[in-house]
Amino acid sequence: MAAHILMIEDDKEMVTLGKLILEREGYTVSAAYRGVDGLAILDEKKNEIDLILLDVMLPGMYGWEILERVKQDESTKHIPVIMLTARHYLEDEGETVKYADLFSEYVVKPFVVRDLLDKIAKNLPHPHAEK
């Protein structure tokens, strides 16, 4: 069975591209453009989601707040989270250090697709279905 990735990202083009790339690699993808919608999908599909790609800068609710909620919930805290941001590490250094124990990877956009795919594969709790 294909691994299921939840992508929470407000950039519609990034979501479209991300879904295309991830689905081509054999993943199932759910997407949300706002944090509250991402949390709703996670609540509905918590037993199906294998990994979360989470943008730091989201309207209404920062990715760090979403990350905290995911990791405080007993039913979702095991799900690996890869943070996505257009900001460099030093711009978010305080938050990055504060939340370092909660996320698996920190990826700066634009990123090399193969690097992101490698990080996803590395952080999945079980092997995903091959093409």
pLDDT at 129: 39
Asked, for residue 128, whether it belongs to a domain, the answer is no
> What is the C-alpha to C-alpha distance for residues 56 and 83, in angstroms, rounded to an integer?
6
The whole-number pLDDT of residue 77 equals 96
Whether the predicted pLDDT of 96 surpasses 90: no
∠ CA 110-76-73 to the nearest 5 degrees? 115
Whole-model pTM above 0.75?
yes
Indicate whether 68 belongs to any domain.
yes
Query: How far is residue 70's CA from residue 54's CA, in Å, rounded to a whole number?
Result: 11
Q: Answer yes or no: is 129 within a domain.
A: no
**What local confidence, expressed as pLDDT, does residue 85 receive?**
86
- Per DSSP, the residues of 56-79 read SS-SSS-HHHHHHHHHHSTTTTTS
Report if residue 34 sits inside a domain.
yes
Q: How many domains does the chain have?
A: 1
What is the CATH classification number for the domain harbouring 16?
3.40.50.2300
Residue-number span of the structural domain to which 50 is assigned:
4-123
Tokens 């979501």 belong to 15
